[in-house]
Amino acid sequence: MKTTDLSDLTGQVAIVTGAARGIGLATAQLLAEAGASVALLDVDGETAQREVEKIGGKAAAWACDVASEKAVESVFAEVVKRFGRLDLLVNNAGVAVRKPAVELSMEEWRRVLDLNLGGVFLCSRVAARAMGPRGGAIVNLASIMGFSGGIFPNASYQAAKGGVVNLTRALALEWADRKIRVNAVAPTFVKTDLTVPIFSNPEVLAKVHAHTPLGVLPEVGDIAAAILYLASPAARCITGITLPVDSGYLAR
């Protein structure tokens, strides 16, 4: 395989969930630059559509709640009808409720698990059916919190992301004979809408930097680049792994 072919996604079709902003948007943009046609899915369909207009003709947007089985099945069918196939799925949509576990309601617990873990399973299941005999690649967004107890209370998020890590392994094994690779990326703290409370709190941010050996936190583009790698032909023999992009956080 030529070096120039390693990240070439020409002719492939990708779905990115939670794609209206942050890591999801950066990933959608990078996949499009690599040649893929990209479906941007987000509960905020209007913002996703505005971003599509910037990406250009190889992209389209749909409003979609990834925790809804009916919505996922309907939208994925529309994507396949629009582009003719499905090759790649990036499960990025997520939510966090940061509070002590003793104050966490069951409604909040279920919301985080339903979206961050249930949504990954649901979208992956529908995508695997749509990919057919050609196979494809799925990249899940896990987190360093899937491996760590964390530096502040966030039990539901940590439980969900730990589930994503092991779900990634399970699906990689189950779907290997379908030629579907399943991997995950585990970012450290990245500045997005979801992490505003962290990056706006000097005391909390100081704790984050104290656990970051390289001394620099990744940006959304760094996470998107790791996702592109796992989705691309460069990673054709890689499945079942979760790749930390954490500036050394988990090495401690």
Domains and CATH numbers, the chain: 3-240 (3.40.50.720)
Check if 229 is active-site.
no
For residue 35, give the nearest of 19, 56, 62, 53 by alpha carbon: 56
Provide mean pLDDT across the span 32-53.
96
The 10s digit of each residue's pLDDT in 91-112 is 999 999 989 999 999 999 999 9
Tell whether the torsion through CA atoms of 66, 14, 92 and 113 is positive or negative.
positive
pLDDT at residue 3, rounded to an integer: 55
For the sheet containing 88-91, what is the strand order? 59-63, 37-42, 13-17, 88-91, 136-141, 180-187, 242-245
Residue in 83, 157, 175, 249 annotated catalytic: 157
Contact between residue 141 and residue 92 where contact means Cβ atoms under 8 Å apart: yes
Residues in the chain: 252
The 10s digit of each residue's pLDDT in 166-198 is 999 999 999 999 999 999 999 999 988 777 778
Please give the Cα distance from 108 to 242 (Å, whole number). Answer: 26
pTM for the full predicted model: 0.95
